[in-house]
Amino acid sequence: MIITEQKPIQKILEALGEYKNVFLVGCGECATTCKTGGEAELIKMKQQLEEAGKTVTGTCLPKAPCVASQLKSELARNMQALRKADAVLVLACGLGVQSVKDNDRLNLAILPACNSLFGATMDAQGNFYEKCSLCGECVLDLTQGICPVTLCAKGLLNGPCGGMDKGKCEVDKDKDCAWVLIYREMEKKNKLAQMGKVQAAKDFKKTTKPRKLLISG
């Protein structure tokens, strides 16, 4: 899940600038869960923009705006409202914004209403925790499902640094050292022998951006 926060309304209005007629696009998945781009947020954003003198020509809420097929069908259903707009304000992550840009056929201004923060898991209470860095070379099979690339402040692959103190990270004293967590998990599962295996340095070519994965030939 991509975690977002909504930009302050003043920043949004500054970005809209001279654009008076605005179409709103939300997100039925991540941004809805984060309460930054669901139906309620679209209604509130419409109200705020109209109070600031803007005209909202329409709104749509694709299940996942980052999926072109889902986005295109929503845009097609709202083409009349889109033709009246000068700009599209996207209440989604940066992926959603760029997907709208890629599928815009009217040469409209495409603007973000949110800041993209990180990819995360969500617990039963609705809290979000960054757990994966999308590094392209997963080591969770070697570290008992605990990611040192993300959870270690230094991304170390072969045990804790010298700054670890009483199980805590030297960068954040309130945070458990990732490698202490990994050690304890290995100990519980009788896998401590794996701690002696030295891992090679990561292949950072796998994170050269922008990346792509082509499904069709």
Establish if 66 belongs to a structural domain.
Answer: yes
DSSP 8-state secondary structure symbol assigned to residue 163: T
pLDDT value of position 92: 97
Mark whether 157 and 99 lie in a shared domain: no
* Secondary structure of residue 120 in the 3-state scheme: strand
156: left (phi over 0), alpha (psi -120 to 50) or beta: beta
pLDDT value, residue 115: 96
Q: Which domain holds residue 178?
A: 135-199
Q: Is residue 10 part of a domain?
A: yes
- Asked whether residue 61 falls in the same domain as residue 167, the answer is no
> Is 212 within a domain?
no
Residues 61 and 88 both lie in one domain: yes
Which has the closest alpha carbon to 87: 104, 69, 70?
Answer: 104
Q: Is the pLDDT of residue 217 over 80?
A: no
State pLDDT tens for residues 55-69.
999 999 999 999 999
Same-domain check for residues 91 and 40: yes
- Looking at the structure, tell me whether residues 20 and 93 fall in a common domain: yes
Report pLDDT for 196: 87
Do 139 and 114 lie in one domain? The reply is no
For the chain, the domain total comes to: 2
Q: Is 68 contained in some domain?
A: yes
pTM above 0.85, yes or no: yes
CATH of the domain at 95: 3.40.50.2300
Domain assignment of residue 214, yes or no = no
**Within a domain: residue 163?**
yes
Is the bond leading into 8 cis (omega within 30 degrees of zero)? no
Which residue type is seen at 116?
S
Q: Is residue 140 assigned to a domain?
A: yes
* 136 Rama sector, left if φ>0, alpha if ψ -120 to 50, beta otherwise: left
pLDDT, tens only, 114-173: 999 999 999 999 999 999 998 889 999 899 999 999 999 999 999 999 999 999 999 999
79 with 178, same domain? no
Q: Please give the Cα distance from 172 to 177 (Å, whole number).
A: 9
Q: What's the angle, vertex CA 143, arms to CA 142 and CA 144, rounded to 5? A: 100
Distance CA 36, CA 121 (A): 17
